[in-house]
Amino acid sequence: MDGSYLPDGETWFWLNIRSRGRALLMLFLFSDVGPDDAPTRIKARSHLDVPPFLAPAGERGRNGLELSTQMDAAGRLDSPDRPVVLATGQAGDVYLCHPFLIHAAQRHRGSVPRFLAQPPLDPAGLLDLDRTDNTYSPVELAVRQGLGSADTTGSLPGLPRQPPGG
């Protein structure tokens, strides 16, 4: 699936609604990356499209390739209303993105190799999408928004509460 859009997740092939194993998607540029140097393609605001496809699977999560196939069939994987943004920049730049952001590689059309890394940022804990104190992180708020909750209060139907210390 080289060059295809895929959301990131717990591992290459698995994602869950609480983003187990990844607090943020990070892109570290170790060389200058211009538009012809195979910058990562990012679907702007696509992180809002992923939660409705993950929520039904709960804690177990979903196979990322199956998820991508379902999102593609629903027109959400490469949605025309989500513009493409290129992760260009100078060596030393770092992109910090929502862990559900849909992104893809592309063919290198430049003349100088590019170097980048996409290491995981281990979370301090799982996303808690139904907090009793409403102190949501920006990542949690975005997942809630993707699930249709426009506010920071109230319970989301179908999501179990995060276990204490979880």
pLDDT number for residue 12: 54
Establish if 37 belongs to a structural domain.
yes
Establish if 159 belongs to a structural domain.
no
Establish if 158 belongs to a structural domain.
no
pLDDT number for residue 151: 63
Establish if 76 belongs to a structural domain.
yes
Question: In a structure prediction context, what are the per-residue pLDDT tens digits for the chain, which is 166 residues long?
Answer: 445 565 555 445 688 999 888 899 999 999 999 999 999 999 999 999 999 999 999 888 998 888 999 999 999 999 999 999 999 999 999 999 999 999 998 889 988 888 999 998 989 999 999 998 989 999 999 999 999 986 656 666 555 445 444 4
Domain residue limits at 78: 6-146
pTM to 2 decimals?
Answer: 0.82
CA dist 144 and 160 (Å) reads 13
Count of domains forming the chain: 1
Establish if 163 belongs to a structural domain.
no
Establish if 162 belongs to a structural domain.
no
Establish if 161 belongs to a structural domain.
no
Amino acid at 11: T
pLDDT number for residue 76: 94
Among 156, 162, 123, 166, residue whose Cα is nearest residue 55: 156
